[in-house]
Structures are given as structure tokens and as C-alpha cells.
Amino acid sequence: MQQQKGGGFRRFAQTPVGKASLIAIAILLTFASYVYVSALVAIPAILLFGLALPIWGGLKRPRYLALSGLVILLIVAPVSSLVITQDIRAPVALASSLTDITGTGGNALMQNASVSPYTGTTSTDFTWQVTIFPQGIPKGNSSPLWLNLYVSTCPGATSNVSVPSWCSAGFPFHLLNYTFAGNLTAPLTRTFNYTIGANGIWDWQMGIYTRNLTTGKLFYQTLVGDPTYNGIEGPVVGDFATTYFALLPTLYLDGFLFLGAPFYVVLVSYMFFKNREARRKQARDRAPESIPPSGGPSDGAAAGSTGPTLSLPPPGGAPSPAVKERTCPNCNAVVYENEANCWKCGASLTSGSTPLPSG
């Protein structure tokens, strides 16, 4: 029963509909793994459903496998960009600073920070807002001195001089500052208004300074952002298409780098082992048949007979002369006389334009 099912699948896989179905399954599962899980999970997905499953279905031609892998990579990126664009344009949660700083009683100094609207155009006047709570001032520190807002295209960046390792120098960076006029005795909500004026997927962060009254050193806190860069997403400037096409080149680069490279490395390895097996089979097919030892009685002669024996030619006519053998001077493989190149290592078996004599 299993054999029949396997044979049915292989027959189906050979049809145009079957080939298209296998590619569609590979695209769907690779896309889902890449977008909803991680690139590390998408790698085995494309190898299993884009390579192993077609090979098991009898689609073993390297050219076909290479082209189907290219189709998968070309389609996964734009489909992923649709979902990721939608996710990026969705507002994020409110942000606050740390609550575990000594002497704050579990109170965050900065709370409920946000930007609105979350999406806009180059002429939109965006508003950033945060509430400062005096209960969050660390024990032994002064009242807040300065509050900074950092807006850039580099996640988590608080300067364009000290460039984070994950960004290239020269990224757009905007700094807005507020200086507190006196001691903070009650919660204060502070807003920043700014028109960015350029399309893009922007990121922001806030930092607040207090001073340690014992050491005189400044104490600096930021909002708690994403776990990787400590940045906060937003705002997104531009329409859906602008965001989509801004993401697409990066997704293509990531797709070919993290998914395409493993796929084609495994494909080349498969081709290597397949070709080696083909060469071994060719060697076995070319090897001379074993010749029974001479001197013993033939099957047709009685044991101990002293009379002459009749040697019958093989079926099909007179016997052909024996094929002479020799060895390759490079790898010692058994080759036939008058061959120009060794079947195993490819070394030339000729001297000039004339085949080497038999050994």
C-alpha cells in the first residue's frame, strides 16, 4: 500500500500541476516560517519542501531544482513584505522607563510615552508625549534636569556621533531637548512636536538626566524599547506602498542570504554525490568480465578424457579477440587500450596524438 501511495505521488509530482503544487507548498511554508517564526526555522522549511520533497517525488534534475528554488525566493520576499508592512504600520504599546532602579519603590520615572499619529506624511506634525513622575526619582538623586527626544532611522540610536554597530554612519538623526525649570513635585506631562519631513520607517527613544547628590555624577535613563536595539518603533512616514517598497530590497537581501545560500549549498552537494555515484556506476559497467581459469576440464568434456576437445564459439558467431587492458599512469585505474583519457581521473592516456601502448 505504501509503495502504491509513493508511486502515485511520484506520478503526480511529474505533472505540471504537481510541480506547481510542490512549489506553492514550499512558498507557503517558507513564508509562514520566515514571517511568523524566524529565519532559522525558514531554512529547514525551504530545504525540506523546496528540495527534499521534490527529489523524493522524482524531480531530481539539478536544473529544475535550481530554478524552482529561485522561484521560491523571488516570491517569498514580496509576500512577506505585505505582512511585515502591515505589522510595521500598526501602532506599538506605550513605553516607560525601568521600574527596578534602587530607591524608586518600583515606580518608573518616565511613563506612558507615545507618538501620534503613528503614520503620516512628510507634512505631518507628530507629537511625542511622556509623563514624568517624581516618585520615580532614584533615592539620593536630584530632580530631573533634562529630557531628550531622539528620532532617527537607526533603532535605539541616541547619537549620530557614536554610531551603533547595527547602523551605518550618516543616518538621519533629530534631537529635541527640554530643560526642567525647577524641582519636580508633581507628575508632569511633557510633549514634543516635530515635522520629520521625509518618508521612511522611523524610530525614537527618550532619555532623562538626574544628578547623584553624593558623587555629583549624572544619572541617565531611557525608555524600555525593543529587546534587540532598545528602540521604539514609529512614526511611519509615507503611504502603504512607500513602506512596502522600502522594505522589499532588505527582504530580498535577507532571503537570498539566509535562505538561498543554504538551499544552493545543499543542492551543489547533492549534485556532487549524484555525479560521483554516476561515475562509479559507469566504472562498474566498463569493468571487464571475469574469465574462468584455463587448464581445467571443460563442462562438456568427461573427467580424465585424453581425447581432443571441441571449442564451440559463443552464440552469435566467432569469438572476438580479447580486449587488452592497462593501467592509468596517474591513478592506476584499469583502462582499455586505445582510450584517450582515463575514465576515473581524466588524465591523458596518449603520448602526443597517439594512445599509449598497452602495459
| Residues 354-357: contacts with CB under 8 Å, at least 24 apart | 356/326, 356/329, 357/326
Close Cβ partners of 256 (under 8 Å, ≥ 6 residues apart): 73
Total domains present in the chain:
3
In the numeric block, the cell 530632580 is attached to: 143
Q: Are residues 168 and 189 in the same domain?
A: yes
Q: How far is the first Cα of the chain from the last one, in angstroms, to the nearest whole number?
A: 55
Structural domain for 79, as ranges: 2-88+245-275
Q: Averaged over 314-318, what is the pLDDT?
A: 49
Instruction: Indicate whether 10 belongs to any domain.
Output: yes
40: left (phi over 0), alpha (psi -120 to 50) or beta: alpha
In a domain, 25, yes or no: yes
Q: Which residue bears the cell 517598497?
A: 245
* Residue 7 reports pLDDT greater than 90: no
In a domain, residue 26? The reply is: yes
The answer to whether position 99 is within a domain reads no
253 and 226 within one domain = no
Cα 261 to Cα 268: distance, rounded to the nearest angstrom: 11
Do both 231 and 258 map to the same domain?
A: no
Mean predicted confidence (pLDDT) in 10-28: 95
pLDDT classification of 339: cutoffs 50, 70, 90: confident
C-alpha cell at 119: 503614520
The answer on pLDDT for 71 being more than 60 is yes
Same domain, 57 and 128: no
Query: Residue 292's pLDDT is what?
Result: 52
Q: Each residue of 159-190: b (16+ CB within 10 Å) or e? A: ebeeebeebeeeeebeeeebebeeebeeeeeb
- What is the CATH classification number for the domain harbouring 149? 2.60.40.10
C-alpha cell at 167: 547602523
Res 296: pLDDT:
47
* Predicted local distance difference test score (pLDDT) of residue 299: 47
| Residue pLDDT, tens place only, 83-115 | 999 999 999 999 999 999 988 899 999 999 999
Cα→Cα distances 299→36, 98, 111, 305, 312, Å: 75, 97, 103, 12, 12
The 8-class DSSP code of residue 223 comes to B
Tell me the average pLDDT across 280-290: 70
- Is 50 a member of any domain? yes
Q: 304 with 315: CB under 8 angstroms?
A: no
Residue type, 236: V
Question: Does one domain contain both 26 and 50?
Answer: yes
Q: Same structural domain for residues 127 and 214?
A: yes
